[in-house]
Chains A and B, each alone.
Chain A
Amino acid sequence: MSVASPPHTWPRRHLLNIDGMTRAEVEACLDLAVEMREWRERGERPEPLRNETVGLAFYEASTRTRVSFELAARALGAIVIDLSLAGSSVAKGESLIDTLRTLRRTGVTICVLRHASSGAPHLAARETGLRIVNAGDGTHAHPTQALLDALTLRDALGALDGRKVAIVGDIAHSRVARSNLHLLPMLGAQVWLAGPPAFVRGFDDWPGVHVATIEETLDGADAVMTLRLQLERDAGAGVPSLREYTWRWGLTSERMLLARPDAPVLHPGPTNEGVEITAELAASGRSLIGRQVENGVPVRMAVLALVAGAA
């Protein structure tokens, strides 16, 4: 395959999280994603991963992430094994490591891992010999989501240096937020957070991040990202009710008047419309939610190619 501007270095066998990556690596990955997107638009089908077997090991329910990884791997020519883990030996009590080592012996070379336990991809990377791509682990990280968010923001705003990005909602339980908190400041953005106190506590210590009221956070923001409220994670202790959450932190067109005119709105999905964002705003012209989904495949193509050493 021919890449116009190959990344300077991609020394990693894995993509576990954004931290530890350099800005140059991130930008090379985003540039490669743009190139991949153009191939797809032109209908080109180079197959740099034709010698790879990608195993999709999703220990947690997922639609958009799993589907976009599968499409990305197929678009690059890889063999794709989608594990229906609920019905496999996992149900018989086999350990994560044993399952993944078995995959490796059957010929899988790259494992896309989604797991409910923070740090599971680190364990897999240390112990299985597979190349691991983290597709979301517990409340820790979701690096490909952050990369596609960054690409979507870059498409809409250009360079992010000096831009104010607001993130609203349940930061504490969000792996998407954590990965964005590494990535957006790295790209020069100022990140402001707002949400119920229990859901933003501790994040004021995060380098380059401000925690403030919803009004201060939205004030003059160049882009606003809201997160899925996962009430089931913290029954009753973080926020009294959905109604109260929506009243105080829900994203509405009126509240968006605080932000820069036409500042785009992002959401990693799936949305609880009417809770963290109104249906009207999610469907409006300033919503980039659809663009986020569209960027999922090329970003994951770029990540798979880089991890495979094929870019």
Chain B
Amino acid sequence: MTTFGTLADPPATLVLLGVRTIDPTDGTDLVRDLAVRDGRIVDPRDVPEGTRRIEGSNLVVAPGFCDLHAHLREPGGEVAETVESGARAAAHGGFTTLCAMPNTEPPLDERARVAAVAGRASAARVRVVASATAGRAGERLTDYAELAADGVVGVSDDGAAIADPRLARGALAYLAELGLPLIEHAEDPRLAAGTLMRAGPTATRLGLAAWPPSAELTMIERDVALAAETGGWVHFTHLSTAGGLDVVRRAKQRGLRVTCDVTPHHLALTDAWVAGHRGFAWEAEGEPDYERAYDGATRVNPPLPSREDALALLAGLADGSIDAIATDHAPHPPERKLVEYSEAAPGMIGLETALSLGLAAVEAGCLGLGRLVEALSSGPAGLIREARGLAVGEVADLVVFDQAARWQLEADALASRSANTPLIGMELPGVVRLTVAGGRVTYEA
């Protein structure tokens, strides 16, 4: 039985016995008992008689995950997802915070629209990234100071970069004193126009219009130059190329305010998936399966990377050059996906599979478990100034998962309203047993 709760529920009291706790905020990795009383982490001796006890010798406890990039589709796309269903998907995946992206219909570009999404009690804290430009039209900045006062965590025209360099420069300059990032979907619109998958041998073979890595690289180079000039903070979301990562690394070495995230699918999946291949980037290259080729579920922006770039991104995550894993959870109904590849809506769901893909990389030896936990929890949470930690006295905000257990990914196993992921049918490692957000149990299995 699985149950969901919300942040409006009464605070939890429970004890986890003999669990492995990984806390990136103090660098601890211990086997111990961890107790929660009235929603706060307490000394295990300080819980009342009769408190519920969960035996956990096979369980890992980590700070609650924080997703910097999720599409909750409200308003306008409720057939694919709502705040409530997206938050349940988050809780199922171990996330306690979600940053809702603003490319809705209409976009989240003014305070009333932001409040309609951010103010609802659900199974996760829902923060908002506001539109960087009015109507996402790329012509005029939104009211950043007012939106910042309302608690937005950043601004973005996600789905696209701010194409006009002068406007992007103005956005970064104005944001500098507000301390908020411009979250850039770094992609040159002309280089990317009409493209369907990453350039490479698979695109050549499949005859699909090829997305050149220069589309990402040139926009990142532009934005780094603008950040250097203005002192503004630019955060590159869903990095997908080794070239782009190199520019970010060098910008960080120069001390610029540049951060970035990567999605689980750009770490684990490759362009060969468009040709029907179903193996992770770190596995031996297998044969494509043309019977499964052109599955709309594999279409995503930026497109799935080359194998070399996926491995470079994994290395960048492992060495800390990449600050966070963000899902770019992008639900779509079947009628937007079960269509010709050129007609398929870009994007795949990710909240419920992020931990599993990360653990698959850990199993393969490409990533340490501690670094994975950090990139899912305190890394992104720190960027939006949310506290995370498992020390006594903190509000309980945590996820409990079984690292070794495996699950079969089927549509009816998902809490999301949508099931658009090419991982359907695969067996994945990592099962979330309990999620506690803000002291409340939001998911339990």
Which residues of A line the B interface, CB within 8 A? 16-17, 19-20, 95-97, 115-120, 122-123, 125-127, 137-141, 172, 175, 178, 202-203, 205-206
Closest Cβ–Cβ distance, residue A152 to chain B (whole Å) = 23
CA distance in complex: A139, B196 (Å): 12
Nearest-neighbor residue (CB-CB) of B339 within chain A: A95
Chain B residue numbers with a CB within 8 Å of A175 are 207
CA distance in complex: A18, B335 (Å): 30
Which residues of B line the A interface, CB within 8 A? 196, 199-201, 203-210, 290-294, 296, 335, 338-343
A118–B208 touching, CB < 8 Å: yes
Number of residue pairs across A and B with beta carbons under 8 Å? Answer: 74
Nearest-neighbor residue (CB-CB) of A182 within chain B: B205
CA distance in complex: A178, B205 (Å): 7
A122–B294 touching, CB < 8 Å: yes
Chain A residue numbers with a CB within 8 Å of B296 are 123
Chain B residue numbers with a CB within 8 Å of A19 are 290
Chain B residue numbers with a CB within 8 Å of A126 are 291-292
Closest Cβ–Cβ distance, residue A173 to chain B (whole Å) = 8
Closest Cβ–Cβ distance, residue A209 to chain B (whole Å) = 11
* Residue among A16, A95, A206 making CB contact with B290, cutoff 8 Å: A16
**Contacts A19-B290, A20-B290 given: A117-B342 contact, CB under 8 Å?**
yes
Apart from A97-B339, A117-B341, A117-B342: 20 A-B pairs, beta carbons within 8 A: A16-B290, A19-B290, A95-B338, A115-B340, A117-B340, A117-B343, A118-B206, A118-B294, A118-B342, A119-B206, A119-B208, A119-B340, A123-B338, A123-B339, A138-B208, A139-B209, A140-B208, A141-B207, A202-B210, A203-B204
Chain A residue numbers with a CB within 8 Å of B206 are 118-119, 140
A118–B204 touching, CB < 8 Å: no
A120–B340 touching, CB < 8 Å: yes
CA distance in complex: A93, B335 (Å): 12
Chain B residue numbers with a CB within 8 Å of A206 are 201, 204-205
Closest Cβ–Cβ distance, residue A206 to chain B (whole Å) = 7
* Residue among B201, B293, B335 making CB contact with A205, cutoff 8 Å: B201
**Contacts A140-B206, A140-B207 given: A119-B294 contact, CB under 8 Å?**
yes
Among B203, B290, B294, B296, residue most surrounded by chain A Cβ atoms (within 10 Å): B294
Closest Cβ–Cβ distance, residue A208 to chain B (whole Å) = 13
A17–B290 touching, CB < 8 Å: yes
Among A116, A118, A126, A206, residue most surrounded by chain B Cβ atoms (within 10 Å): A118
Nearest-neighbor residue (CB-CB) of A14 within chain B: B291
